[in-house]
Amino acid sequence: NIVIGGAAGAFPPLIGWAAVTGEIAVLPVLLFLITFLWTPPHFWALALYKDTEYAKAGLPMLPVVAGHKATRNQILIYSVILVAASLLPWALGLLGTIYGLTAAGTGFLFLLAAIQLWQKDADTYAKRLFGFSIFYLFAIFASVIIDSI
């Protein structure tokens, strides 16, 4: 449910870009991809420490239907792909140094948090990744704006 729903939540950069410019370009597609890939680790981290509440509500979140280990594995996989994808706007020359440094630095910290969670199933690490993921997405999009000025 998170992967499919993540696509809907990732459309705003594409929609906003198209509304302002009247076209679709590579950068908004990459911003869609970053948001899409960010969504599963963000929400699955939350679901790890709220799994009993999701189970009581009958919501089929990954930790409830597949367990914590499978969820932590998926979080790590998506996190690695997310960080790689977040470097593409810089690597392709679409954004500059501010974005590149922000994506690399916050990406490193995101991966570190995901690896810690993968290694140890503890609410502390799930909460840390969840909380940092909010800052991460903010920092990525703020650096897009700053680098584009």
Alpha-carbon distances of 103 from 3, 69, 71, 117, 121, rounded to whole Å: 22, 27, 24, 21, 26
Per-residue pLDDT of the chain (149 residues; tens, 9 = 90+): 898 889 999 999 999 999 999 999 999 999 999 999 999 999 999 999 999 999 999 999 999 999 999 999 999 999 999 999 999 999 999 999 999 999 999 999 999 999 999 999 999 999 999 999 999 999 999 999 999 98
Report the predicted TM-score, pTM, of the whole model to 2 decimal places: 0.96
Q: Are 38 and 136 in contact (CB under 8 A)?
A: yes
Can you give the three-state secondary structure of 51-92, one letter per residue?
A: HHHHHHHCCCCHHHHHCHHHHHHHHHHHHHHHHHHHHHHHHC
The Cα–Cα gap between 1 and 59 comes to 9
Closest by Cα among 70, 40, 64, 66 to 51: 64
E strand or H helix at 16: helix 12-21
What is the predicted pLDDT for the residue at 5?
87
pLDDT in tens, 38-50: 999 999 999 999 9
pLDDT of residue 76: 98
Average pLDDT in the chain: 97
